[in-house]
Amino acid sequence: MEFNDAPVLVLQHAAWEGPGLIARGLEQRDIPWTVRTVLDEHDPHLPDVSRLGGLVVMGGAAGALDDEEHPGLAAERRLLVAAVEADIPVLGVCLGMQLLAVAHGAAFHPGAHHELGFGPVSVTGDGIRDPYLYPLVVDAHADPEVLHWHDDAVEAPDGASVLASTDVTPVQAFRLGSATGFQFHLEVDAPMLGAWLDEPETAEELTAAQIASIREQGRERLPSLAPRALVGLGTFADAVRYRRG
């Protein structure tokens, strides 16, 4: 096992949807990371995967196949495929998970179901053994609660292991080779949630009552959830740091 000092590339789609706890896990291990936003670029120049220690693709309001309005998505999907083929550690969150899935041939279901706020997610047998998710399960008889914020959904790509689900969204997390995708938001801590809820675009989409409810849910759940999520997300940083060259 050798130390890997190549940077992690974070593809971000909205200014307020940064890597959060994912970045904290990287920084705790002194792993460099950089952010790019290529959503609206035609044929953006992205680095070759041989120059990356890892790849993180964040969430956003775009649809995973909305190439006409956001032409940079096609380049993101190509980079995701190349990263998995090269066995680079990959993490996709929300839109990032959907891009990961459709890039590998999975079906995309726009507007499948609206899930918003903190709620339970059922961890599968593969999920309970997965290093990202096992820290979330503190009670064998109760599903962990996570932050949901999506309308679209995907099916799992061929060869992927489904790690978590809900009744209305059967694929809430999956692992495919070196890549893992989460439909929900483990990266969010209390300051990040506050920033999301204070964002003017959020205020346009949600009612005042919805914002107040999510804010209160965050106050109740994040003091326990965020530290456990950081333990799991830290394993992504470990995979980046110790990946064999």
Ordered by start, the domain boundaries in the chain are 8-241
Predicted local confidence at residue 204, as pLDDT: 87
On the question of pLDDT at 9 being above 70, the answer is: yes
Predicted local confidence at residue 4, as pLDDT: 61
Cα distance between residue 128 and residue 94, in whole Å: 20
Contact between 88 and 54 (Cβ < 8 Å): yes
Report pLDDT digits (tens) over 198-233.
Answer: 999 888 899 999 999 999 999 999 999 999 999 999
Q: Where are the alpha helices (DSSP H) in 87-207?
A: 95-103, 125-128, 190-198, 200-205
Cα distance between residue 91 and residue 114, in whole Å: 23
Cα distance between residue 209 and residue 211, in whole Å: 5
Where does 8-241 sit in CATH, by number? 3.40.50.880
What pTM does this model have? 0.95
